[in-house]
Each structure stands twice: as structure tokens, then as C-alpha cells.
């Protein structure tokens, strides 16, 4: 499967090639690649350099039991396909600054960290499928999250698998073309809705 962006203007190779598969290969990810993914996330920018992100990772090859615990923190729909991935990851954000005021950029910055991880993954031939469909309370309990930390999203990470191994409805989605709203409806100038002349 190859589903590059149908981009209107030139973009980096990794941004063009990245997409979110549901068919993963069981092929393990080398530990040095795992370290590079997390290192890429670590070097994301953040408001006041607070680095609100934390990550919980479960590598099937390292611990089947930990992988199963992580899988139990994902909703049923996502569990159906994410179970094939060799790595599951949760991003968790620290929601307040040290002075106890709310860090309204905590989720934003955690998202930036995941974006960096995703680009690094693409460069390593890996794929990341992020998941909003996670079980927040289950994550809190399973990993004993301290107060002030909020699960942001999950991600299945691994090498690409065969779409033919997916159930029919998922296979259809896997094969469907990717789409994006055009820049003319996304980037405004003088007033809301007025397309910027790029």
C-alpha cells in the first residue's frame, strides 16, 4: 500500500508519504528505532519549554502482558485493528504549569511532540496511527496517572501490513483515497472566510 498525499504544492517527502494505516505487520521494530521516535518527540517545541508531554509505551516483543494491558485501554473499534501493531503508545499531558496556572498549550504541545514522532517514523519506514478512541479512566487506573496529568491520545506504531488481512469495512477505509480541505478554505486573510492570496 502506498497512499501519498495528493499535495497541491511541494512538501517534504516524509509529510507526503505519511498516512494512518490500520493494517500493521507483526514485524518487530528495532529498539534503536523506538529510541529515535521518542527522541524526535522529546525535541518538540513547547510553551516556555515546559515539555508537558509524557509517553507510555508497550512493545509487544518486550512484554506480552504489558501490551495486553495497553490494548485494554483502547476502545473496542480501535482494538480490532491496533492489536496487530507491535507497539502501542499513549501521550499524556501535564495540564498545569509549576505555578499551578492552567497550561492551555499542554495538548497542543503534546500534539507537536507526536507530530515529530510521526515524521521520524516515516523516515524510518514506520507508520503511526493515532487514536482518539482510548479509554481515559482505564489509562488513569492502569498506569496510576498522578493528578494533573491527562491522557491525550493513543497511537499504534509499526511497519505496514496487508490490507487483505483487515475485515471488509476496515479494508474499504484502508483503500479509500485520502482527502483534505483546500488551502483556499483553510487560510484566511482580512476577515474570516476570506481566502488569503497565497
Ligand X SMILES: Cc1cc2nc3c(=O)[nH]c(=O)nc-3n(C[C@H](O)[C@H](O)[C@H](O)COP(=O)(O)O)c2cc1C
CB 22 within 8 A of CB 81: yes
CB 53 within 8 A of CB 110: yes
The residue within the footprint of ligand X, chosen from 13, 35, 42, 178 (CB under 6 A), is: 178
> Closest approach of Cβ 19 to ligand X, in Å?
4
19 is a contact residue toward ligand X (CB under 6 A)? yes
> Closest approach of Cβ 101 to ligand X, in Å?
25
Whole-angstrom distance, CA of residue 34 vs CA of residue 57: 10
| Grid-cell match 497565497, residue found | 198
Using CB under 6 A, which of the segments 96-104, 130-138, 139-147, 183-191 binds ligand X?
130-138
The residue within the footprint of ligand X, chosen from 130, 139, 151, 158 (CB under 6 A), is: 130
The residue within the footprint of ligand X, chosen from 56, 73, 153, 166 (CB under 6 A), is: 153
179 is a contact residue toward ligand X (CB under 6 A)? no
Whole-angstrom distance, CA of residue 50 vs CA of residue 87: 26
* Relative orientation angle of helices 31-42 and 106-123, to the nearest 10 degrees: 140
The residue within the footprint of ligand X, chosen from 91, 131, 139, 157 (CB under 6 A), is: 131
Site string for ligand X, 59-88 (x = CB under 6 A): -------------------x----------
Using CB under 6 A, which of the segments 28-36, 42-50, 125-133, 156-164 binds ligand X?
125-133
CB 152 within 8 A of CB 15: no
DSSP label at residue 49: G
> Closest approach of Cβ 181 to ligand X, in Å?
12
Q: Is 43 helix (H, G, I), strand (E, B) or coil?
A: coil
Whole-angstrom distance, CA of residue 96 vs CA of residue 16: 35
118 is a contact residue toward ligand X (CB under 6 A)? no
| Residue placing its CB nearer to ligand X in the complex, 131 or 157 | 131
φ and ψ at residue 6, rounded to 5 degrees = -90, 65
Say how many C-beta atoms besides its own lie within 10 A of residue 22's C-beta.
22
132 is a contact residue toward ligand X (CB under 6 A)? yes
119 is a contact residue toward ligand X (CB under 6 A)? no
| Site of interaction with ligand X (CB under 6 A) | 19-20, 78, 130-133, 153, 178
Amino acid at each position: 500500500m502506498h497512499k501519498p498525499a495528493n499535495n497541491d504544492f511541494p512538501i517534504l517527502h516524509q509529510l507526503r508519504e505519511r498516512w494512518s494505516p490500520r493494517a500493521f505487520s507483526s514485524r518487530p521494530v528495532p529498539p534503536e528505532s523506538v529510541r529515535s521516535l521518542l527522541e524526535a518527540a522529546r525535541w518538540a517545541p513547547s510553551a516556555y519549554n515546559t515539555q508537558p508531554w509524557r509517553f507510555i509505551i508497550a512493545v509487544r516483543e518486550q512484554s506480552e502482558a504489558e501490551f495486553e494491558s495497553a490494548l485494554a485501554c483502547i476502545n473496542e473499534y480501535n482494538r480490532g485493528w491496533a492489536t496487530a501493531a507491535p507497539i502501542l503508545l499513549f501521550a499524556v499531558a501535564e495540564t498545569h504549569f509549576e505555578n499551578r496556572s492552567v497550561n492551555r498549550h499542554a495538548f497542543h504541545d503534546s500534539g507537536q511532540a507526536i507530530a515529530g514522532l510521526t515524521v521520524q517514523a516515516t523516515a524510518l519506514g514506520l507508520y503511526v496511527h493515532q487514536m482518539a478512541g482510548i479509554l481515559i479512566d482505564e489509562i488513569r487506573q492502569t498506569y496510576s496517572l498522578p493528578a494533573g496529568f491527562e491522557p491525550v491520545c493513543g497511537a499504534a506504531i509499526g511497519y505496514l501490513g496487508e490490507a487483505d488481512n483487515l475485515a471488509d469495512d476496515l479494508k474499504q477505509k484502508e483503500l479509500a483515497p485520502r482527502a483534505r480541505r483546500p488551502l483556499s478554505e483553510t487560510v484566511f486573510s482580512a476577515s474570516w472566510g476570506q481566502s488569503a492570496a497565497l
